[in-house]
Amino acid sequence: MKAARFYDRNDIRIEDIPAPKVAPGEVLVKVAWCGICGTDLHEYLDGPIFCPQHGHPHPISGEDSPVTMGHEFSGVVKELGEGVTDLEVGDHVVVEPYIIDDAVDVGPDSKTYHLSKNMNFIGLAGRGGGLSEVVSVKRRWVHKISKNIPLDEAALIEPLTVGVHAVERAGEIHEGDYALVTGAGPIGLLTSAVLKAKGAKVIISELSPLRRQKALDSGVADYTFSPAETDVLAEIQKLTNDRGVDIAFECTSVQPALDLILDAIKPTGKVVVVSIWGKPASLDVQKLVLKEIDLRGTIAYVNNHPESIALVESGKLDLKPFITGKIALEDLIDKGFDTLINHNETAVKILVTTDPELLAQ
């Protein structure tokens, strides 16, 4: 089968490799669509980060590079491994792409398995990936979805679930709560979509006019401001009668965004840092103290897929506006990575498939 494999920085190859066989307890999934994630771009430009270096196998998967890439994917069940009785061939599914030690409790009540030692992802650290034709996944990480969700939109359920967990980290959301989101990249937009679906009023601060427009056109923001052109804090004070926003989500990893949030958050407000920070930030701790701000981190997701699938199935949230391109696997680097690296203001999610029939639709 065809697969995109990470060898090293600037070295991802489309190759023919043997298709996986389904093992007991696993589900063989024929991939429909796979999204390209910022994490994939980081591996390509600055990696290996999550991908295990050649000669250094990942402690859980036991695999080293080359590894098949792609962790944001949807597909159709092709074959069931021995002992899997609660799914059927032909079911539509998405994958929660975890590689987690067998000793860790990954049951429905766990709120910590995503923080376990050596946690990594299918499509980054081994066990196949969505940038290929088929992938065999442990039953635990396969989530059935309604056939009413188009499979292209379903490929966005994985990044959407990052937003669902981020919003969960902020605690209860009340109808009409003001939420500030800094940054309208894919995760900022999808976090905003979850906030809107839960009844919050969403304010986005974002430099790029094209991204601001996308936030408005897709309906996930009530207000967007450019911090380069507008006193965003003054606008927020006007909107909230000087109270400040109830919750805030940092999705840029730039210092001025964090500074804005500490000023714009109301006393006792909750701040969730969603972005990945490559270097230490500075924090005006006195603001944290005097306003009794709750500052929280969030990473990936933990038992959040059922909620995000239900949100999409309910129709409260539309993923279609975030699909900005569809390409064949052969064009992954030229049309996919290149567009996202060099034209990232217009591209949100580019979806990849190996199936010419899907591409023709």
Q: Give the footprint of Zn ion on this chain (CB under 5 A).
A: 37, 39
Q: How far is the CB of 350 from Zn ion (least distance, A)?
A: 13
**Cβ-contact 63, 52 below 8 angstroms:** yes
Q: How far is the CB of 346 from Zn ion (least distance, A)?
A: 19
Q: What would you report as the CA-atom Rg of the chain, rounded to the nearest whole angstrom?
A: 20
Q: Whose Cβ is closer to Zn ion: residue 39's or residue 120's?
A: 39
Q: Whose Cβ is closer to Zn ion: residue 39's or residue 136's?
A: 39
Q: Whose Cβ is closer to Zn ion: residue 39's or residue 192's?
A: 39
Q: Whose Cβ is closer to Zn ion: residue 37's or residue 293's?
A: 37
Q: Whose Cβ is closer to Zn ion: residue 52's or residue 130's?
A: 130
Q: Whose Cβ is closer to Zn ion: residue 121's or residue 178's?
A: 121
DSSP for 178-219, please give it.
Answer: EEEEE--SHHHHHHHHHHHHTT-EEEEE-S-HHHHHHHHHTT
Q: How far is the CB of 38 from Zn ion (least distance, A)?
A: 7
Taking the CA atoms of residue 196, residue 316, residue 144 and residue 328 in that order, the dihedral angle to the nearest 10 degrees is -80
Q: How far is the CB of 297 from Zn ion (least distance, A)?
A: 17
**Terminal-residue alpha carbon distance, the chain:** 22
Angle at 181 between CA 265 and CA 267, to 5 degrees: 10
Please give the Cα distance from 301 to 159 (Å, whole number): 9
- Report residue 259 as tokens: 């500074």
Q: Whose Cβ is closer to Zn ion: residue 37's or residue 352's?
A: 37
Q: How far is the CB of 336 from Zn ion (least distance, A)?
A: 14
Q: How far is the CB of 14 from Zn ion (least distance, A)?
A: 20
DSSP for 299-353, please give it.
Answer: -S-SS-HHHHHHHHHHTSS--GGGEEEEEEGGGIIIIIIHHHHH-TTT-SEEEEE
Please give the Cα distance from 43 to 49 (Å, whole number): 6
**Cβ-contact 210, 265 below 8 angstroms:** no
Q: How far is the CB of 71 from Zn ion (least distance, A)?
A: 6
Closest of 137, 42, 48 to residue 94, by C-alpha: 137
